Amino acid sequence: MKCVTVFICTVMMMCFCCMNVSADDLSEISAKSAIVIDGETGDVLFEKNAYERRPMASTTKIMSVLLVLESGEDLDKQFVVDSEAIKVEGSSMGLQDGDKVTLRDLCCGMLLPSGNDAANAAAVRVAGSIGKFVQLMNKKAEQLELNDTHFVTPSGLDDDTDEHYSTAADMAKLAAEAMKNEDFRAICHLEKVELCYGNPPYDRWLINSNKLLKSCEGIVGVKTGFTDKARRCLVSACDRKNKELICVTLNAPDDWNDHSKLYDYCFDFVSKQKLPLDKSSFDVAVVGGVSDSVKCKVGHASAVLLNGRAYKVKTKIYLPRFVYAPVKSGDKIGLALFYYNDVEIARTDITAVEDAMLAEPEKPDIFHYYLDKLKKLFA
C-alpha cells in the first residue's frame, strides 16, 4: 500500500512539473473574482469567487455592442449623433456635436478605445433613449440567464445606486454568446481600425486598449474596463489547440498577467478526444433488395474537450426506418450528432459498409397468366 501511495505521489509531482504554470502560481492571481470557461461547452476550468456580484466597468459594453449588432438596424448607414448622449465623462472615441457616424463605427468605438460617448450614442439610435436601451440590456440578460447581472448604463460607468453589477461567471457566459456573432468577433479582434466619421467625416484611427492581443498567444478579443469602483476588469478569449477558452477577471490589479497565467494553466487540460458511440454498426431494412437489410457504420468523430471528459458526451443517432435498393457501400444513410452539456460539438455521417443489390423482377408464369384470363372470360 505504501509503495502505491509513493507511486501516485510521484506521478502527481511529475504532472505538475510538466505544466507551464503550477497550481501554486495560481494562488498569486491578483483578481478578486476570476473564471475560465470552455467557450463552446461552458465547462468551468478555474474559478475564484466567480459568483460574487461586482461592478464590471466597461466590460458592460460587450452587452451594448451585442444588442446593436442584433438590432436589425443598418450598421453602415450614416446618421447624426444625439448631441446630449455624447456629453459623458471618461473614455471616448472623440464624438462631437453634429458628427456623422454609423452604428458599425460606434461598435468599434465601444470595443477598441472603450468610448462612453459611443455607447450612449448607439443606445439612443437603437432604442430612442438611454433608459429604453438599458431595459433591452436587462431583458437580454434575463434571456441569457445571467441571473446575477443588472445594468444601469450602456457604458459601464459607476452609478450611485450600486445596481450596476455582474459576476465573473455571468460575464464569461455573456462573452461566449457575443463571440458567436461574426461582426462582434471581427471587431473585438482588431488591434486598430481606420474609420471615417465627423462633421464633415474624415479618416482617423482607433486603437484597441486590449494589450493581450499583442502579448498573449492566441488572444482573439474581447474587452477591457476600469472605473474607480470596479477597478481593473478584463474579459478575454483565447484560441489554442483548436479550442477557445474565455477568461474574466474583476478587480484585478495585475490583469494582463492573470490572464496569461490562467490560459497557460487551463490549456493543459485540453486535448482532442475520440468521441464515444452508442454502437459501432447498425442494420437498416432494405426495400426491393436481394437482402432484407444493409449494414451501416458511424464515421470517425472527435472533438477538442477537457482531458477525460469524452465519457460525458451524449450521442444521438438518426436513421431511417428503411431504405430503397440499390444501396452502394459508402452511401450516406443517416447522421450521428454528439452533444456535451446539451451543446452540439461534432457530427458525422452514418454510411453503408456493403452493397444492397436491387432484386430482379420475377419472370412471368405463362400457364397461370392464361388461366387467369380464362377465369375472367367465363366468369
pLDDT surpasses 60 at 335: yes
Q: What is the pLDDT of residue 198?
A: 97
Q: What is the pLDDT of residue 18?
A: 33
- How does residue 11 score in pLDDT terms, banded at 50, 70 and 90? very low
Distance CA 310, CA 169 (A): 24
pLDDT surpasses 70 at 310: yes
User: Could you report the per-residue pLDDT of 70-100, keeping only the tens digit for each?
Assistant: 999 999 999 999 999 999 999 999 999 999 9
Is 91 noted as a catalytic residue in this protein?
A: no
In a domain, 7, yes or no: no
Per the structure, how many domains does the chain have? 2
Q: What is the pLDDT of residue 41?
A: 87
Distance CA 179, CA 248 (A): 14
How much of the chain, in percent, has pLDDT values that exceed 70? 89
CATH code for the domain of 124: 3.40.710.10
Q: Which of 91, 114, 166, 236 is catalytic?
A: 114
Residues 65 and 156 in one domain: yes
Section 337-351 average pLDDT: 90
Is 61 noted as a catalytic residue in this protein?
A: yes
In a domain, 165, yes or no: yes
Residues 228 and 285 in one domain: no
List, in order, residues 6 or more apart from 68 with CB less than 8 Å away. 75, 103, 106, 107, 122, 126
CATH code for the domain of 283: 2.60.410.10
C-alpha torsion 149→150→156→162, nearest 10: -110
Q: What is the pLDDT of residue 20?
A: 43
Residues 127 and 56 in one domain: yes
Cell triple for 247: 477568461
Residues 47 and 118 in one domain: yes
pLDDT surpasses 50 at 180: yes
Domain boundary among 270, 300, 332: 270
Asked if 82 and 125 count as a contact pair (C-beta separation under 8 A), the reply is yes
Q: What is the pLDDT of residue 9?
A: 38
Residues 161 and 231 in one domain: yes
- How does residue 173 score in pLDDT terms, banded at 50, 70 and 90? very high
Q: What is the pTM of this model?
A: 0.77
In a domain, 168, yes or no: yes
In a domain, 189, yes or no: yes
Identify the domain containing residue 224 by its residue range. Answer: 24-270
Residues 200 and 289 in one domain: no
Domain boundary among 223, 253, 270: 270
C-alpha torsion 197→200→202→205, nearest 10: -40
Residues 201 and 161 in one domain: yes
Q: Which of 61, 223, 243, 261 is catalytic?
A: 61
Distance CA 164, CA 60 (A): 9
Distance CA 219, CA 203 (A): 27
Q: For residues 252 and 269, which has the higher predicted lDDT (pLDDT)?
A: 252
pLDDT surpasses 90 at 292: yes
SS3 assignment for 73-131: CCCCCCEECCCCCCCCCCCCCCCCCCCEECHHHHHHHHHCCCCHHHHHHHHHHHHCCHH
In a domain, 124, yes or no: yes
- Helix, strand, coil in percent for the chain, rounding step 5: 30, 30, 40
In a domain, 222, yes or no: yes
The number of residues making up the chain comes to 379
Q: What is the pLDDT of residue 12?
A: 36
Domain boundary among 249, 270, 291: 270
Q: By C-alpha distance, which of 276, 316, 323, 275 is closest to 296?
A: 323
Q: Determine the residue type at 159.
A: D
Is 58 noted as a catalytic residue in this protein?
A: yes
Cell triple for 94: 472623440
Residues 222 and 97 in one domain: yes
In a domain, 91, yes or no: yes
Q: Which of 58, 64, 166, 260 is catalytic?
A: 58
Residues 213 and 318 in one domain: no
Residues 263 and 307 in one domain: no
DSSP state of 289: B
In a domain, 16, yes or no: no
User: Could you report the per-residue pLDDT of 139-157, keeping only the tens digit for each?
Assistant: 999 999 999 999 999 999 9
Mean pLDDT rounded to a whole number for the chain: 90
> Which H or E element spans position 318?
strand 314-318
Residues 266 and 281 in one domain: no
Cα angle 298, 304, 308 (rounded to 5 degrees) comes to 90
- How does residue 3 score in pLDDT terms, banded at 50, 70 and 90? very low
